[in-house]
Amino acid sequence: MNFEIYPFEKLNELLEGITPNNEYELSSLTIGEPQFETPQFIQDELKATTLLLKKYPASAGIPELKESMINFVFKRFNVSLNNEQIIPTFGTREVLFNFPQFALFDKKNPIMAFTNPFYQIYEGAAIASRAEVIHINLDESNNFKANLSDEELRKCDLVVLNYPNNPTSAVMSIDELAIWVKKALEFDFILINDECYSEIFFDEAIKPPSLLEASVKAGNSEFKNVLVMNSISKRSSAPGLRSGFIAGDETILKEYMKYRTYVGCASPVPLQKAAAVAWNDEKHVEGFRQIYKQNFEIAKEILGINPPKATFYIWLKVDDELQFTKDLYKEKSIKVLPGSFLGRENAGQGYVRIALVENAKKTKEVLQRLKDFLDG
């Protein structure tokens, strides 16, 4: 298998030999990893359940974890799921990688489409599945919203969307997602939405919708051909818990569950216990949302940017993203991620991704440095 190196490795190569300005503390705004303590009540549950390390974890997940995830989906999206319509996973990276291999295994010449620029695991999954790729190119002309022609959709076996979107921060409406659901039924392909940023939003009146909601609105209440994935990592500042799920089409998930028993990626029981209390609680999530909202208010004040509706990313337009990244690192000791490292076929060119995952004080200081660089 010929995998591309990850964007962060490309960044290290790009910056190799460049000495950052030692007048400033080195600041990395590259990775989407919240820099906040995991809430104490989650840590306490993990500590209290370490005796359960003596047990082998079940691939299907402990009942209270599955129940907490079902509760989350109902409270957040007003969608009712049964136990056969959801599977706890070891985060979402593993399922995003191995589900396409499962789903496309019996296809003679599989074709997989995904948003571009993208989270690189989508491309890795396509390579591992020996799938031909159709890129769903996102740019200013389409407001970074996914669209493919009917001719392209007829070819597809599997389509992966990512809304709210990494890296562009774009959000698709429930009506726009419902069109995708109808296309998945019309052309009989599996449709996935990677919803890992669904809980990082800033207006209670305009919450990002789930593809599950859109499926119900489209008259597909059984979620035929429709799946979503979500994770606790961003929501609860707990990426180390590796707690995610895949939910939707019961028929597909029944066979996928058989596959997972062979994969051996069940989460340890103490992690599942801690994740269950996290999925069941909303108060701590609201607290994190306020931090990110404040960071974007700071960004608006300093950089004059309009805050996105969701995610914690700034998708900043620049002239030459590679030169910009090198010069910013050298002059202001700030690391950002070139957009072209996240895309193919020129997607992401002319942009850098900036992750606002620090506290307000640090965010303000670093963004002021960035502003000075932009003004220089």
Percent of the chain as helix, strand, coil, to the nearest 5 = 45, 15, 40
Q: What is the pLDDT of residues 219-233, one digit of tens each?
A: 999 999 999 999 999
pLDDT at 170 over 90: yes
Q: Over 90: is that where the pLDDT of 238 sits?
A: yes
Query: Tens digit of pLDDT for each residue in 108-160?
Result: 999 999 999 999 999 999 999 999 999 999 999 999 999 999 999 999 999 99
Q: Is the pLDDT of residue 180 over 90?
A: yes
205 — pLDDT class (breaks 50, 70, 90): confident
Instruction: Quote the CA–CA distance of 212 and 77 in Å, as a whole number.
Output: 8
**Confidence band, pLDDT 50/70/90 cuts, at residue 207:** very high
Q: How confident is the prediction for the chain on average, in pLDDT?
A: 96
Say how far apart CA 100 and CA 323 lie, in whole Å.
36
Over pLDDT 90: what percentage of the chain? 95
The band of 32, judged by pLDDT with boundaries at 50, 70 and 90, is: confident
The per-residue pLDDT for range 274-310, each reduced to its tens digit, is 999 999 999 999 999 999 999 999 999 999 999 999 9
Residue 375 clears pLDDT 90, i.e. is over it:
yes
User: Which pLDDT belongs to residue 198?
Assistant: 98
Whether the predicted pLDDT of 343 surpasses 90: yes
Contact between residue 213 and residue 219 where contact means Cβ atoms under 8 Å apart: no
Residues 6+ apart with CB under 8 A from 76: 198, 199, 207, 210
> Given a cut of 90, is residue 1 above it in pLDDT?
no
Please give the average per-residue pLDDT across 250-258, as a whole number. Answer: 97
Burial 70-106 (b: 16+ CB within 10 A, else e): bebbeebbebebeeebbbbbbbbbbbbebbbbbbbee
pTM for the structure as a whole: 0.96
Predicted pLDDT of residue 26: 94
**Minimal CA–CA distance to 121: which of 90, 155, 95?**
95
Which fold, 54-279? Aspartate Aminotransferase; domain 2 (3.40.640)
- Residue 13's pLDDT band (boundaries 50, 70, 90)? very high
Q: Same CATH topology for 7-37+284-375 and 54-279? A: no
pLDDT digits (tens, 9 = 90+) for 300-323: 999 999 999 999 999 999 999 999
Mean pLDDT of 245-263: 97
Task: Place 204 in a pLDDT band, splitting at 50, 70 and 90.
Answer: confident
Kindly give the residue spans of alpha helices, DSSP state H, lying in the chain. 7-15, 40-48, 63-77, 93-104, 121-128, 150-155, 174-187, 211-217, 250-263, 269-279, 283-303, 321-332, 360-375
**What is the C-alpha separation between 229 and 191, in angstroms, rounded?**
11
Domain 7-37+284-375, CATH class in plain words: alpha beta
Q: What is the pLDDT of residue 56?
A: 92
Domain ranges for the chain, please list them: 7-37+284-375, 54-279
C-alpha of 69 from chain center:
17
**For helices 40-48 and 269-279, angle between their N-to-C axes, nearest 10 degrees:** 150
